[in-house]
Amino acid sequence: MATKWAQFVILAILLSIAPLGQAIPSQTEEAVDKWFKNLPHAKPKYEKLHFFIHELVTGPNITIVPVAKSNFTDKLSSRFGLVYVIDEPLKVGASPDSETIGRVEGLDVSSSKEKLTMLAAFNFVVTKGQHKGSTLSVLGRLADYSDNHEFPILGGSGDFRLAQGFIVFKVYSVDPATGNVIVECRAQFLHY
């Protein structure tokens, strides 16, 4: 575990993605103390976000990759044990040309031996607009591809600290030629 973190820190320094010791003002110890002390007086804010996930399963800009499976995954129709990693753009519309406003990064794990059922562990990050840099952490179970799916939002960061709510996913379209999928998402949540 320590080794993994050490590797991450070294990587972060190399990539300069996390300049150490330069926390942004709202994340200093004092600012966070103040934020927590004010919490009993703070009113939860209700937020609604609407966007589309563009999942590309083929082509040069593939957004979902299988990374692991068990030695009997291929024998089961449920594909139990298969693990995908995703990094997919969030766009304001269903058109590929529409503006990208965020990304969803995470894991899809086939976690049922009976029928195709995915454990989804996703980080949503806003990359544009007033909430830029804020994240939502989502953990859910995807069991029926034909229906709306409700995934719990378990928390958030930045503007979305202590987020609680749901994201509803709905398959908007599947391109029969490529297999690429567009998923419509509606996030509705409280945060402070």
Ligand X SMILES: *[C@@H]1O[C@H](CO)[C@@H](O)[C@H](O)[C@H]1NC(C)=O
List residues near ligand X by CB under 6 A.
59-61, 71-72
Torsion angle of the four alpha carbons 12, 14, 17, 21, in this order, in degrees rounded to the nearest 10? 80
Q: Which amino acid is at 29?
A: E
- The least CB distance from residue 61 to ligand X, in Å, is 4
Place of tokens 């059922």: 117
Distant-in-sequence, close-in-space partners of 96: CB < 8 Å, separation ≥ 6:
54
- The least CB distance from residue 85 to ligand X, in Å, is 18
- The least CB distance from residue 71 to ligand X, in Å, is 4
Closer by beta carbon to ligand X, 38 or else 100: 100
How far is Cα 34 from Cα 142, in angstroms, rounded to an integer?
A: 39
- The least CB distance from residue 63 to ligand X, in Å, is 10
Instruction: Report phi then psi at 67, rounded to 5.
Output: -120, -20
Closer by beta carbon to ligand X, 63 or else 134: 63
Closer by beta carbon to ligand X, 38 or else 58: 58
Task: Give the tokens for residue 147.
Answer: 């229906």
Closer by beta carbon to ligand X, 46 or else 72: 72
